[in-house]
Amino acid sequence: MAGKHTLAASHIGVAVAAFGVASFMGVLQALSMADIAFPWRSESLYYMTLTAHGVLMALVFTTFFIMGLGYVLARESLGRIVGQAAGWLAFGLGTAGAAAAAVTILRGQSTVLYTFYPPLQAHPLFYIGATLIVVASWIWGAIIIASFRAWRREHRGEPIPLPIHGLLATIILWYLATTGLAIEVVGMLIPWSLGWVEKIDPMVARIYFWWFGHPLVYFWLMPAYILWYNVLPQIAGGRLFSDRLTRMVFILFLLLSTPVGFHHQFSDPGISAGWKLAHTVTTYAVLYPSFVTAFTVIASLEIAGRMKGAKGLFNWIARLPWSDPFFASVALAMIGFAFGGFGGAINAAYAMNALVHNTAFIQGHFHVTLGTTVALTFMGATYWMLPRMLGRELRAPALARIQPYLWFFGMTIFSTSYHIAGIRGLPRRVYSGALNGTAGGDWHGLTVAAAVGGVILFASALAYVIVVVATWTSGRRIDAPPFEFAVPLRPEPVAGVWDRFGLWTALAIVLVVLAYAYPLAQLLSHPRYGSPGFQPF
Amino acid sequence: MNIDLYERIWMWAASALVVMFLAAILVPAAVQAIHPPSHVETLDPTKLAEHPEFATGGVNTRSDGSVVVSVAASMFAFTPNPIEVPANAPITFRITSADVIHGFQVVGTNANAMAIPGYVSQMTVTFATPGRYIIACHEYCGLFHHEMVGTLIVR
């Protein structure tokens, strides 16, 4: 292993392992929802693996992958990782936390799903383990910021390297988001699960959870965007269309992705309609940077096609490297995001949300966003990073070429089926779509179709894991190719307004306070009674 | 800022789209008072069995002809069940939970609210089509979440 990326590679290894295990659980859940029998099918297995699938995919796979990617970007764009030893400490803490949480889940002591809404109560180690993963990510963020500051001392007045600009926005956003989570988990859930306090207010906990829960989505999405802006045009053979707007997009995400949490709580009591409306406005505003991204990234690809000699209106598309696994993954991820983005606009419109809230529509929605936009980008990025990190040639390249298409095909079936079933009223997260024999006919065909999609997705996940493991263990040793980032058409000459992170961070904090201080104070001033803990059976 | 002409056009178009989406929500909110259920009312979830309204739940017709349905959700049932209401009349649902968080969704309609212990959710819905509707719990509440189904009969 090329030593300078050992820390990053270790994180990617944990991420891929979590992904593989969670994928297998995912296919069992899709079969179960469709009422298709398999040997160990049971309620407790379904909800236990649903918890594990959510925690492993949404927390372990994503966080570890992003940490690994962050170390690669710092090493390559800043030329250093300051405090590598602390990075290993964080890796140990995060891995131990993930293992502790996983053990309590697999032993059936924490079947609370990855949203862990109280008063359903999990084993204390579940909450503590999840906290350790977040603490690891905090240490990681501090390391990246320290590395950036050391770079800055040697490069006064220069624009921040573009990949690092996006990474810094991601990290600051993550600190803002996880503040809400820390208040919920450390301030409320851990003392309550240990029996130090008897009761918990589920509504207050939900508000803190969704303060964290939506920017969490952007914590996943922004590293994908970093790859779209900085790596995709390079792989495609083009230029980044606009350096400055890329910076604007990252800053807008930093500002707008946190003060939006109530759009997950439209159907909740305890929050006034005016505040739900206020969060709706910010929710729609956060669509804007994604629209800008669509233009910049696609324009960058058109440049690539034209540089390869395309002349017509659309034939540049055919000149793009569709057989490159990184390119194909990201291009398909972007198509997925077009659907996911408009689905999100539907969810945020509360008249339409009333029809689909907590139905299978939501399952369909976040499997095209997190499950395709983010996961497929990360899978593609794995193919890009592995040879460069390990100095090994990708094994089974044909499998790597097919895998993104297989994922996209499976996900199209899976997600479309659940979107439609959700509009018809199938609730999300049910062991049996037949709902105790009352409702089979309305959506049974759709749940079966989704299960077929799930099997295809599992085949694709398996192909990904096989390529990664084979490359890691027996890929032919080569000189590690360099990590190269896209060159902008017009690079920024000096650090501009979008590089002023102090200013933007302050503004982001103000927005979070504006969005949450008053409604929280309002709720906390009511007479509240609290709930004791309940086990899920 | 030096921005390419096409990109500038796109940015204005994207802004217009965002404004249009928002207008589609803000105008009905302002003009027709269309809001999500946002009632603020608390009670002690551990004493629900002695609560005058939610101990048994029930359907009550007020003097002005409006109908109030009080529902207590618990692992793994809705009380009362079945619920019978008239068609084409405004029905106000008042929903709470005796234990964990549940969901209350009348399948095929936009009657959709969370049942949160310690809080009362309230929403008013008019059902135009008589028939039997499934009431599904749509928030995971434990191992038999998928069996937590009620019936709404609209006459």
Question: Per the CB < 8 Å rule, is A439 touching B149?
Answer: yes
The per-residue pLDDT for range A465-502, each reduced to its tens digit, is 999 999 999 999 999 999 999 999 888 888 889 999 99
Residue by residue, DSSP assigns A74-143 as IIIIIS--TTHHHHHHHHHHHHHHHHHHHHHHHTTS--STTT--TTB---HHHHHHHHHHHHHHHHHHHH
Specify whether the CB–CB gap between A183 and A208 falls below 8 A.
yes
DSSP bridge partners of A152: none
Same domain, B31 and B49: no
* Interatomic CA distance for residues B105 and A261, integer angstroms: 22
Q: How far apart are CA A249 and CA A511, in angstroms?
A: 17
SS3 content of chain A, % helix, strand, coil (to 5): 75, 0, 25
Q: Same structural domain for residues B29 and B56?
A: no
Q: What is the CATH number of the domain that holds B129?
A: 2.60.40.420
Query: Who among A436, A490, A531 is closest to B45 (CB)?
Result: A531
Chains A and B form CB pairs within 8 A to the count of 218
Quick check: B1 pLDDT over 70?
Answer: no
Q: Bridge-partner residues for B59, per DSSP?
A: B69
Domain count, chain B: 2
- Angstrom CA distances, A359 to A129, A220, A231, stand at 29, 23, 36
- DSSP per-residue letters across B93-134: EEEEESSS-EEEEETTSS-EEEE-TTB-EEEEEE--S-EEEE
CB-CB under 8 Å, B143 with A43: yes
A108 touches B: beta carbon within 8 Å: no
Q: For residue A2, what pLDDT is reported? A: 46
Q: Is the peptide bond before B76 cis (omega within 30 degrees of 0)?
A: yes
Residue A120: HSE in the Cβ half-sphere, 13 Å Cα cutoff:
25
Helix (H) or strand (E) holding B72: strand B67-74
Query: What per-residue confidence (pLDDT) applies to B34?
Result: 84
Do B31 and B59 lie in a common domain? Answer: no
Judged by DSSP in three states, A331 sits in helix
Task: Answer yes or no: is B40 within a domain.
Answer: no
pTM above 0.90, yes or no: yes
Confidence of residue B35 (pLDDT cuts 50, 70, 90): confident
- Minimum distance, in Å, between the CA of residue A21 and any CA atom of chain B: 22
What backbone phi and psi angles, to 5 degrees, belong to A83? 85, 45
User: Contact B119/A269, CB-based, under 8 Å?
Assistant: yes
CA distance A503 to A249: 16
Residue B84 lies in a domain: yes
A450 in Cβ contact with A421 (< 8 Å): yes
Residue found under tokens 């008019």? B126
B22 and A CB contact within 8 Å: yes
Has residue B126 been placed in a domain?
yes
Identify the band that residue B133 occupies on the pLDDT scale cut at 50, 70 and 90: very high
Res. B7: pLDDT tops 90: no
Q: How far apart are CA A28 and CA A39, in angstroms?
A: 11
| Interface predicted TM-score (ipTM) | 0.94
Positions of A annotated as catalytic residues are 214, 218, 365-367, 428-429
Inter-helix orientation angle A325-348/A287-307, to 10°: 150
pLDDT digits (tens, 9 = 90+) for B97-123: 999 999 999 998 989 999 999 999 999
Write out the residue range of the structural domain in which residue B101 sits: 45-154
Q: Is A300 on the interface with B (CB under 8 A)?
A: no
Is A365 in CB contact (< 8 Å) with chain B? no
Give me the pLDDT at residue A493, please.
82
The pLDDT tens digits for B45-55 are 999 999 999 99
Listed residue (A415, A82, A65) closest to A227, CA to CA: A65
- Residue A20: Cβ within 10 Å count: 18
Cα–Cα distance measured from residue B36 to residue B20, given in angstroms and rounded to the nearest whole number = 20
Best residue of A268, A346, A494 to probe chain B, by most B CBs closer than 10 Å: A268
Distance CA(B21)–CA(A54), nearest Å, equals 31
Q: Which residues of chain A are under the pLDDT cut of 70?
A: 1-2, 440
Contact B71, B80 (CB under 8 A): yes
Residue with tokens 């920017």: A215
Burial class (CB in 10 A: 0-12, 13-18, 19+), A509: middle
Q: Which residue has the tokens 């999405």?
A: A221
> What residues does B88 pair with on adjacent strands?
none
Under DSSP, the state recorded for A525 is T
Distance in angstroms (rounded) separating the CA atoms of residues A86 and A350: 45
Query: DSSP letters of A445-463?
Result: HHHHHHHHHHHHHHHHHHH
User: Which residue in chain B has the smallest CA separation from A50?
Assistant: B140
A429 to chain B: which residues are within 8 Å by CB? 140, 145
Pairing of strands B90-97, B67-74: parallel
Say whether B105 and A113 touch across the interface (CB within 8 A): no
Domains of chain A by residue range: 1-158, 326-481
DSSP state of B144: T
Tokens 């009550």 found at? B60
In A185-308, alpha helices (H): 190-193, 202-230, 232-236, 243-256, 273-285, 287-307
Which pLDDT score, from 0 to 100, does residue A1 have?
43
